Amino acid sequence: MIEYIVGHINYWLIVAIMMVGLYTLMSRSNLVKKLAGLSMFQTAVILFYVSLGKVTGGTVPIISEQYSLYSNPLPQVLMLTAIVVGVATTALGFALVIRIKEAYNSVEENEISAMDEKE
């Protein structure tokens, strides 16, 4: 049992990062903290996919007669795209938080909802 846990420690760490991000996203009312939690969750998903692409004993996929086992480069390539999209959406989220701060003078979700209900 211990060998199984130690052998899959990267997956346990990824799940821990994912749960911290999800908890932060759900439990905080501050919009900046929500974006940080979303970013942590996204980072955990990217780490998960990258770790799936590594094969123990595998080498880079350059065909040679001395190698027979290769690691799959597709997850890493797809996650490069996911990183770029994640940075862009996080930047857009921060831009929206700045506009909300200018309009409502607050970044707390509860206060913004209360101001909307008054109007």
Which residues, 6+ apart, have CB-to-CB distance to 2 below 8 Å?
Answer: none
Spatial distance between the Cα atoms of 33 and 39, rounded to a whole number of angstroms:
10
What is the mean predicted confidence (pLDDT) over 10-15? 92
Question: 29 near 97, Cβ under 8 Å?
Answer: no
The pTM assigned to this predicted structure is 0.81
pLDDT digits (tens, 9 = 90+) for 19-76: 999 999 999 999 999 999 999 999 999 999 888 877 777 777 777 778 778 777 888 8
Tell me which residue of 83, 27, 94, 24 sits closest to 50, measured CA to CA.
83
